[in-house]
Amino acid sequence: MLWTSMDTFLFPTEQNATVDLYGLGDRCLHERATRRLDGEIYCAVHKVTDWNPLISDQLTGARENGEVLVEHRPGDGLFWIEAPPFTTELGYAESLLPEGLLTFYQDAQRVCATALQARALANEPPMVSTSSCSEESSSWLRR
């Protein structure tokens, strides 16, 4: 079998999701909190793709503000969602913790890192989105 450089970087989907979660946890410890990072975390824990094409300053600004263009279930269509502030607000960071895991940290970024890495190591299933695609979440499309 002939191996190419592309072959060495392909991972099975489940393993890639684990790498993403663990890597995002590491980033929470080493990068400053940003809304862009919150958006990446949202997509990783829900195992959805941000379909924002980034073809304009407005779309790039949306990503920087934690807004992601996602389809939660096939056929539901794409909707703009504002990611929760996982990296700055403790309550949102704690919502990422797998069931039964507690932490004594009072810093959102450390709790976020702990939660993401624990989810990766425990191979937790994706979180179920409780947000509805309401007028508020899709209003960005009309801007």
123 belongs to a structural domain: yes
Domain residues for the domain of 52 are: 12-142
Please give the tally of structural domains in the chain: 1
3 belongs to a structural domain: no
129 belongs to a structural domain: yes
Taking every pair of C-alpha atoms in the chain, what is the biggest distance, in angstroms? 53
**What's this model's pTM, rounded to 2 decimal places?**
0.78
1 belongs to a structural domain: no
Cβ atoms 43, 70 nearer than 8 A:
yes
For the segment 18-45, what is each residue's pLDDT rounded down to a tens digit? 568 999 999 999 999 999 999 999 999 9
Mean pLDDT rounded to a whole number for the chain? 81
